[in-house]
Structure 1
Amino acid sequence: MPSAITDRSVAPADAAFLAAMAALAGGVCVVTTADPEGRPVGFTSTAVMSLSRSPQLLAIGVDQASRTLPALLGRGRFALNILRADGESVSRRFADRTADRFAGLAWTTDEWDVPLLTAYSAAVLSCQVARDVPAGDHRLITASIRRILPGAEDGGALVHLGRRYHPLPVRSAR
Protein backbone atom coordinates (compact mmCIF):
# COMPACT_ATOMS: atom_id res chain seq x y z
CA MET A 1 0.00 0.00 0.00
CA PRO A 2 1.51 3.38 -0.97
CA SER A 3 2.25 5.79 1.84
CA ALA A 4 -0.05 8.81 2.13
CA ILE A 5 1.08 12.27 1.15
CA THR A 6 0.45 14.57 4.11
CA ASP A 7 1.68 17.85 2.64
CA ARG A 8 -1.50 19.82 1.91
CA SER A 9 0.36 22.02 -0.60
CA VAL A 10 0.63 19.07 -3.00
CA ALA A 11 -2.22 18.90 -5.52
CA PRO A 12 -4.04 15.53 -5.77
CA ALA A 13 -2.62 14.86 -9.26
CA ASP A 14 0.87 15.66 -7.95
CA ALA A 15 0.32 13.38 -4.96
CA ALA A 16 -0.62 10.51 -7.29
CA PHE A 17 2.48 11.16 -9.41
CA LEU A 18 4.73 11.28 -6.34
CA ALA A 19 3.20 8.07 -4.99
CA ALA A 20 3.70 6.32 -8.33
CA MET A 21 7.33 7.48 -8.54
CA ALA A 22 7.92 6.30 -4.94
CA ALA A 23 7.10 2.81 -6.25
CA LEU A 24 9.98 3.04 -8.74
CA ALA A 25 13.28 1.99 -7.17
CA GLY A 26 16.27 4.17 -7.97
CA GLY A 27 19.95 3.74 -7.36
CA VAL A 28 21.28 6.48 -5.09
CA CYS A 29 24.10 8.62 -6.46
CA VAL A 30 25.85 11.85 -5.56
CA VAL A 31 26.68 14.21 -8.42
CA THR A 32 29.77 16.32 -7.68
CA THR A 33 31.56 19.15 -9.46
CA ALA A 34 33.36 22.38 -8.55
CA ASP A 35 32.10 25.95 -8.72
CA PRO A 36 34.04 28.69 -10.60
CA GLU A 37 36.17 29.35 -7.49
CA GLY A 38 37.08 25.65 -7.31
CA ARG A 39 34.91 24.88 -4.25
CA PRO A 40 33.36 21.39 -4.28
CA VAL A 41 29.58 21.22 -4.71
CA GLY A 42 27.13 18.39 -5.20
CA PHE A 43 23.71 16.87 -4.66
CA THR A 44 22.01 13.51 -4.16
CA SER A 45 20.17 12.06 -7.13
CA THR A 46 18.16 9.01 -8.09
CA ALA A 47 17.29 10.55 -11.48
CA VAL A 48 20.14 8.77 -13.27
CA MET A 49 20.11 6.35 -16.18
CA SER A 50 22.54 4.69 -18.51
CA LEU A 51 21.78 5.95 -21.99
CA SER A 52 24.18 4.36 -24.45
CA ARG A 53 26.90 1.75 -24.41
CA SER A 54 28.57 2.98 -27.60
CA PRO A 55 29.41 5.73 -27.12
CA GLN A 56 29.19 5.48 -23.34
CA LEU A 57 26.57 8.02 -22.25
CA LEU A 58 24.42 8.58 -19.20
CA ALA A 59 21.65 11.03 -18.33
CA ILE A 60 20.79 12.82 -15.10
CA GLY A 61 17.83 14.97 -14.18
CA VAL A 62 18.70 18.16 -12.29
CA ASP A 63 16.18 20.48 -10.62
CA GLN A 64 16.26 23.95 -12.21
CA ALA A 65 16.43 25.38 -8.66
CA SER A 66 19.53 23.34 -7.76
CA ARG A 67 22.36 25.50 -6.46
CA THR A 68 24.78 23.03 -8.07
CA LEU A 69 23.32 23.36 -11.60
CA PRO A 70 25.20 26.56 -12.59
CA ALA A 71 28.53 25.03 -11.50
CA LEU A 72 27.76 21.77 -13.28
CA LEU A 73 26.94 23.53 -16.55
CA GLY A 74 29.74 26.09 -16.15
CA ARG A 75 32.44 23.47 -15.50
CA GLY A 76 31.00 21.05 -18.03
CA ARG A 77 32.37 18.13 -16.03
CA PHE A 78 31.06 16.18 -13.07
CA ALA A 79 31.46 12.91 -11.24
CA LEU A 80 28.66 10.45 -10.73
CA ASN A 81 29.38 8.75 -7.42
CA ILE A 82 27.27 5.57 -7.23
CA LEU A 83 26.84 5.06 -3.48
CA ARG A 84 27.62 1.78 -1.75
CA ALA A 85 25.02 -0.02 0.37
CA ASP A 86 26.30 1.78 3.49
CA GLY A 87 26.07 5.25 1.92
CA GLU A 88 22.82 6.52 3.45
CA SER A 89 24.52 9.14 5.65
CA VAL A 90 26.41 10.51 2.62
CA SER A 91 23.19 10.61 0.60
CA ARG A 92 21.36 12.47 3.38
CA ARG A 93 24.21 14.96 3.73
CA PHE A 94 24.14 15.82 0.01
CA ALA A 95 20.33 16.08 0.06
CA ASP A 96 20.42 18.57 2.97
CA ARG A 97 20.37 22.15 1.66
CA THR A 98 21.98 23.53 4.83
CA ALA A 99 24.80 21.01 5.34
CA ASP A 100 28.45 21.72 4.64
CA ARG A 101 28.35 18.71 2.36
CA PHE A 102 32.08 17.96 2.07
CA ALA A 103 33.09 18.79 5.67
CA GLY A 104 34.68 15.80 7.36
CA LEU A 105 34.36 13.52 4.33
CA ALA A 106 37.23 11.79 2.58
CA TRP A 107 37.35 13.06 -1.00
CA THR A 108 39.87 13.60 -3.77
CA THR A 109 39.81 15.29 -7.16
CA ASP A 110 40.39 14.06 -10.68
CA GLU A 111 42.64 15.67 -13.28
CA TRP A 112 39.92 18.29 -13.97
CA ASP A 113 39.59 19.19 -10.25
CA VAL A 114 36.19 17.52 -10.00
CA PRO A 115 35.61 16.15 -6.46
CA LEU A 116 35.33 12.38 -6.16
CA LEU A 117 33.72 10.41 -3.33
CA THR A 118 35.50 7.14 -4.09
CA ALA A 119 35.61 6.05 -0.43
CA TYR A 120 31.79 5.91 -0.30
CA SER A 121 31.07 4.65 -3.81
CA ALA A 122 30.64 1.33 -5.58
CA ALA A 123 31.94 3.13 -8.70
CA VAL A 124 32.67 6.69 -9.78
CA LEU A 125 32.11 7.85 -13.34
CA SER A 126 34.00 10.90 -14.53
CA CYS A 127 31.70 12.68 -17.01
CA GLN A 128 31.68 15.50 -19.53
CA VAL A 129 28.41 17.29 -20.29
CA ALA A 130 27.30 16.55 -23.85
CA ARG A 131 23.85 18.13 -23.87
CA ASP A 132 21.57 20.17 -21.62
CA VAL A 133 17.85 20.04 -22.40
CA PRO A 134 15.03 21.85 -20.55
CA ALA A 135 12.56 19.30 -19.13
CA GLY A 136 9.73 20.88 -17.13
CA ASP A 137 11.05 22.04 -13.75
CA HIS A 138 14.30 20.11 -14.37
CA ARG A 139 17.15 19.97 -16.86
CA LEU A 140 18.06 16.71 -18.58
CA ILE A 141 21.83 16.51 -18.77
CA THR A 142 23.41 13.91 -21.03
CA ALA A 143 27.09 13.22 -20.50
CA SER A 144 29.87 11.16 -21.99
CA ILE A 145 31.87 8.91 -19.70
CA ARG A 146 35.54 9.90 -19.64
CA ARG A 147 36.77 7.47 -17.01
CA ILE A 148 35.38 4.86 -14.64
CA LEU A 149 36.97 4.48 -11.23
CA PRO A 150 36.24 1.37 -9.19
CA GLY A 151 34.94 1.80 -5.68
CA ALA A 152 34.72 -0.61 -2.81
CA GLU A 153 34.77 -4.25 -3.77
CA ASP A 154 31.53 -5.98 -2.72
CA GLY A 155 30.15 -2.61 -1.61
CA GLY A 156 26.64 -3.44 -2.73
CA ALA A 157 24.25 -0.67 -3.69
CA LEU A 158 22.01 1.87 -2.00
CA VAL A 159 18.48 2.04 -3.43
CA HIS A 160 15.65 4.46 -2.70
CA LEU A 161 12.15 2.96 -2.82
CA GLY A 162 8.92 3.91 -1.07
CA ARG A 163 10.53 7.11 0.27
CA ARG A 164 13.08 5.01 2.20
CA TYR A 165 16.64 3.83 1.75
CA HIS A 166 17.33 0.14 1.18
CA PRO A 167 20.92 -1.14 1.32
CA LEU A 168 21.48 -4.04 -1.05
CA PRO A 169 24.56 -6.09 -0.24
CA VAL A 170 26.29 -8.07 -2.96
CA ARG A 171 25.60 -11.77 -2.58
CA SER A 172 28.30 -14.28 -3.46
CA ALA A 173 27.50 -16.61 -6.33
CA ARG A 174 27.37 -20.26 -5.24
Structure 2
Amino acid sequence: MTATTTTADRPATAGFLDAMAALAGGVCVVTAAAADGTPAGFTSTAVMSLSRAPQLIAIGVQRGSRTLPLLQDGGRLALNILAADGESVSRRFADPAVDRFAGLEWTTGEGGVPLLLAHSAYAVVCRVREEVAAGDHLLLIADIDEIIPGQGGVGALVHHARRYHGVGA
Protein backbone atom coordinates (compact mmCIF):
# COMPACT_ATOMS: atom_id res chain seq x y z
CA MET A 1 0.00 0.00 0.00
CA THR A 2 1.33 3.44 -0.91
CA ALA A 3 1.26 6.22 1.66
CA THR A 4 -0.46 9.35 0.49
CA THR A 5 -0.14 12.85 1.79
CA THR A 6 -2.58 15.67 1.52
CA THR A 7 -1.85 19.37 1.29
CA ALA A 8 -2.80 19.60 4.97
CA ASP A 9 0.16 17.34 5.80
CA ARG A 10 2.76 19.45 3.96
CA PRO A 11 4.32 22.81 4.76
CA ALA A 12 3.83 25.63 2.28
CA THR A 13 5.76 24.88 -0.89
CA ALA A 14 7.32 27.36 -3.25
CA GLY A 15 4.53 26.54 -5.72
CA PHE A 16 1.85 27.41 -3.17
CA LEU A 17 3.58 30.67 -2.26
CA ASP A 18 4.06 31.56 -5.94
CA ALA A 19 0.41 30.85 -6.73
CA MET A 20 -0.80 32.99 -3.83
CA ALA A 21 1.57 35.81 -4.89
CA ALA A 22 -0.26 35.81 -8.24
CA LEU A 23 -3.49 36.62 -6.43
CA ALA A 24 -3.77 40.39 -6.00
CA GLY A 25 -4.98 41.45 -2.56
CA GLY A 26 -6.08 44.73 -1.10
CA VAL A 27 -3.72 45.92 1.63
CA CYS A 28 -5.15 46.74 5.04
CA VAL A 29 -3.81 47.46 8.49
CA VAL A 30 -5.79 45.73 11.23
CA THR A 31 -5.60 47.64 14.51
CA ALA A 32 -6.73 47.04 18.08
CA ALA A 33 -5.99 48.47 21.52
CA ALA A 34 -4.98 46.84 24.79
CA ALA A 35 -7.09 47.46 27.89
CA ASP A 36 -4.70 50.29 28.86
CA GLY A 37 -5.13 51.91 25.42
CA THR A 38 -1.79 50.79 23.97
CA PRO A 39 -2.29 50.47 20.20
CA ALA A 40 -1.30 47.43 18.15
CA GLY A 41 -1.71 46.37 14.56
CA PHE A 42 -0.48 44.39 11.59
CA THR A 43 -0.58 44.48 7.80
CA SER A 44 -2.94 42.04 6.10
CA THR A 45 -4.15 41.07 2.66
CA ALA A 46 -6.19 38.19 4.13
CA VAL A 47 -9.37 40.26 4.35
CA MET A 48 -12.70 39.86 2.61
CA SER A 49 -16.22 41.15 2.67
CA LEU A 50 -18.36 38.26 3.81
CA SER A 51 -21.99 39.35 4.03
CA ARG A 52 -24.13 42.37 3.21
CA ALA A 53 -26.93 41.46 5.61
CA PRO A 54 -25.74 41.45 8.27
CA GLN A 55 -22.64 43.39 7.30
CA LEU A 56 -19.69 41.08 8.05
CA ILE A 57 -16.02 40.90 7.16
CA ALA A 58 -13.53 38.07 7.63
CA ILE A 59 -9.85 38.48 8.49
CA GLY A 60 -7.22 35.77 8.59
CA VAL A 61 -4.87 36.25 11.55
CA GLN A 62 -1.72 34.22 12.12
CA ARG A 63 -1.91 32.36 15.43
CA GLY A 64 1.48 33.82 16.49
CA SER A 65 0.43 37.43 15.92
CA ARG A 66 1.10 39.74 18.88
CA THR A 67 -2.17 41.54 18.09
CA LEU A 68 -4.33 38.39 18.14
CA PRO A 69 -4.82 38.30 21.95
CA LEU A 70 -6.09 41.90 21.84
CA LEU A 71 -8.56 40.98 19.12
CA GLN A 72 -9.73 37.99 21.14
CA ASP A 73 -9.89 39.76 24.52
CA GLY A 74 -11.36 43.09 23.48
CA GLY A 75 -13.22 41.86 20.47
CA ARG A 76 -12.86 45.27 18.81
CA LEU A 77 -10.79 46.08 15.75
CA ALA A 78 -10.44 48.56 12.94
CA LEU A 79 -9.80 47.55 9.38
CA ASN A 80 -7.82 50.43 7.85
CA ILE A 81 -8.08 50.05 4.07
CA LEU A 82 -4.91 51.71 2.83
CA ALA A 83 -5.04 54.32 0.08
CA ALA A 84 -2.90 53.90 -3.05
CA ASP A 85 0.02 55.80 -1.49
CA GLY A 86 0.06 53.72 1.70
CA GLU A 87 3.06 51.48 0.99
CA SER A 88 5.24 52.95 3.76
CA VAL A 89 2.47 52.42 6.32
CA SER A 90 1.98 48.85 5.13
CA ARG A 91 5.70 48.13 5.44
CA ARG A 92 5.80 49.70 8.92
CA PHE A 93 2.99 47.45 10.19
CA ALA A 94 4.57 44.37 8.60
CA ASP A 95 7.90 44.92 10.41
CA PRO A 96 7.94 43.28 13.87
CA ALA A 97 10.98 45.32 14.96
CA VAL A 98 9.36 48.74 14.50
CA ASP A 99 7.33 50.77 16.99
CA ARG A 100 4.49 50.86 14.51
CA PHE A 101 2.63 53.90 15.85
CA ALA A 102 5.66 56.10 16.71
CA GLY A 103 5.49 59.36 14.77
CA LEU A 104 2.47 58.19 12.78
CA GLU A 105 -0.72 60.24 12.56
CA TRP A 106 -3.62 58.29 14.08
CA THR A 107 -6.71 58.76 16.22
CA THR A 108 -9.11 56.52 18.12
CA GLY A 109 -12.56 55.37 17.11
CA GLU A 110 -15.46 53.67 18.82
CA GLY A 111 -14.23 51.42 21.61
CA GLY A 112 -10.76 53.01 21.54
CA VAL A 113 -9.55 51.26 18.39
CA PRO A 114 -6.72 53.03 16.54
CA LEU A 115 -7.72 54.59 13.22
CA LEU A 116 -5.23 55.44 10.49
CA LEU A 117 -7.54 57.87 8.68
CA ALA A 118 -4.70 60.00 7.27
CA HIS A 119 -3.40 56.94 5.40
CA SER A 120 -6.61 55.12 4.55
CA ALA A 121 -9.36 55.24 1.97
CA TYR A 122 -11.71 53.92 4.68
CA ALA A 123 -11.58 52.68 8.25
CA VAL A 124 -14.09 50.02 9.23
CA VAL A 125 -14.71 49.60 12.97
CA CYS A 126 -15.79 46.08 13.87
CA ARG A 127 -16.60 43.71 16.71
CA VAL A 128 -15.40 40.09 16.54
CA ARG A 129 -18.38 37.77 16.31
CA GLU A 130 -16.73 34.41 15.77
CA GLU A 131 -13.37 32.65 15.47
CA VAL A 132 -12.83 29.74 13.10
CA ALA A 133 -9.68 27.60 13.27
CA ALA A 134 -7.95 27.58 9.88
CA GLY A 135 -4.55 25.86 9.92
CA ASP A 136 -1.85 28.17 11.28
CA HIS A 137 -4.35 31.06 11.24
CA LEU A 138 -7.65 31.95 12.85
CA LEU A 139 -10.39 33.35 10.68
CA LEU A 140 -12.07 36.17 12.58
CA ILE A 141 -15.59 37.00 11.47
CA ALA A 142 -16.59 40.48 12.56
CA ASP A 143 -19.72 42.64 12.60
CA ILE A 144 -19.29 46.13 11.17
CA ASP A 145 -20.20 48.89 13.62
CA GLU A 146 -19.03 51.97 11.74
CA ILE A 147 -17.55 52.92 8.36
CA ILE A 148 -15.46 56.09 8.29
CA PRO A 149 -14.10 57.70 5.10
CA GLY A 150 -10.37 58.26 5.34
CA GLN A 151 -8.30 61.22 4.23
CA GLY A 152 -5.50 59.11 2.77
CA GLY A 153 -6.20 59.97 -0.81
CA VAL A 154 -7.79 58.11 -3.65
CA GLY A 155 -7.41 54.61 -4.93
CA ALA A 156 -6.29 51.51 -3.14
CA LEU A 157 -3.03 49.79 -2.33
CA VAL A 158 -2.78 46.21 -3.57
CA HIS A 159 -0.10 43.57 -3.23
CA HIS A 160 0.58 41.41 -6.27
CA ALA A 161 3.59 39.37 -7.36
CA ARG A 162 5.35 40.29 -4.11
CA ARG A 163 5.18 44.01 -4.90
CA TYR A 164 2.94 46.93 -3.99
CA HIS A 165 0.81 48.67 -6.60
CA GLY A 166 -1.39 51.73 -6.28
CA VAL A 167 -4.61 51.41 -8.29
CA GLY A 168 -7.35 53.88 -9.05
CA ALA A 169 -5.24 56.86 -8.01
So what's the TM-score if we normalise by structure 1? 0.88
Query: 1:137/1:13 Cα in 2 relative to 1: closer, same or farther (>3 Å)?
Result: closer
Contact 2:32 2:70 in 1 (8 A): yes
SS of equivalent to 1:50: strand
Structure 2: distance between partners of 1:13 and 1:60: 20
Q: Which moved more, 1:42-51 or 1:11-20?
A: 11-20
Residue in structure 2 matched with residue 127 of structure 1 by the alignment: 126
Matches within 5 A, 1:86-101: 86-101=85-100
Residue in structure 2 matched with residue 104 of structure 1 by the alignment: 103
Deviation at 1:110, TM superposition (A): 1.1
SS of equivalent to 2:59: strand
Deviation at 1:169, TM superposition (A): 2.9
Deviation at 1:13, TM superposition (A): 5.7
Contact 1:154 1:169 in 2 (8 A): no
Residue in structure 2 matched with residue 137 of structure 1 by the alignment: 136
Structure 2: distance between partners of 1:149 and 1:70: 25
Residue 81, structure 1, aligned to residue 80, structure 2? yes
Q: Which moved more, 1:130-139 or 1:146-155?
A: 146-155
SS of equivalent to 1:38: coil
SS of equivalent to 1:112: helix
Matches within 5 A, 1:14-29: 14-29=13-28
Structure 2: distance between partners of 1:161 and 1:154: 20
Deviation at 1:111, TM superposition (A): 2.8
Deviation at 1:12, TM superposition (A): 8.6
In the TM superposition, what whole-angstrom CA distance separates every residue of 1:79-136 from its partner, at most 9, and x where no partner exists? 0000000000000000000100000011000131111001100000000001011110
Structure 2: distance between partners of 1:113 and 1:58: 20
Q: Which amino acid aligns with 2:32?
A: T
In the TM superposition, what whole-angstrom CA distance separates every residue of 1:36-95 from its partner, at most 9, and x where no partner exists? 322000000000000000110000000001010001111100000000000000000000
Query: 1:76/1:167 Cα in 2 relative to 1: closer, same or farther (>3 Å)?
Result: same
Residue in structure 2 matched with residue 62 of structure 1 by the alignment: 61
Runs of 4+ in 1 over 3 A off after TM superposition: none
Runs of at least 5 residues in structure 1 that lack an aligned partner in the other structure: 1-10
So what's the TM-score if we normalise by structure 2? 0.91
Deviation at 1:154, TM superposition (A): 5.2
Residue identity (%): 65
Runs of at least 5 residues in structure 2 that lack an aligned partner in the other structure: 1-9
Structure 2: distance between partners of 1:159 and 1:153: 15
Structure 2: distance between partners of 1:140 and 1:161: 22
Deviation at 1:155, TM superposition (A): 1.3
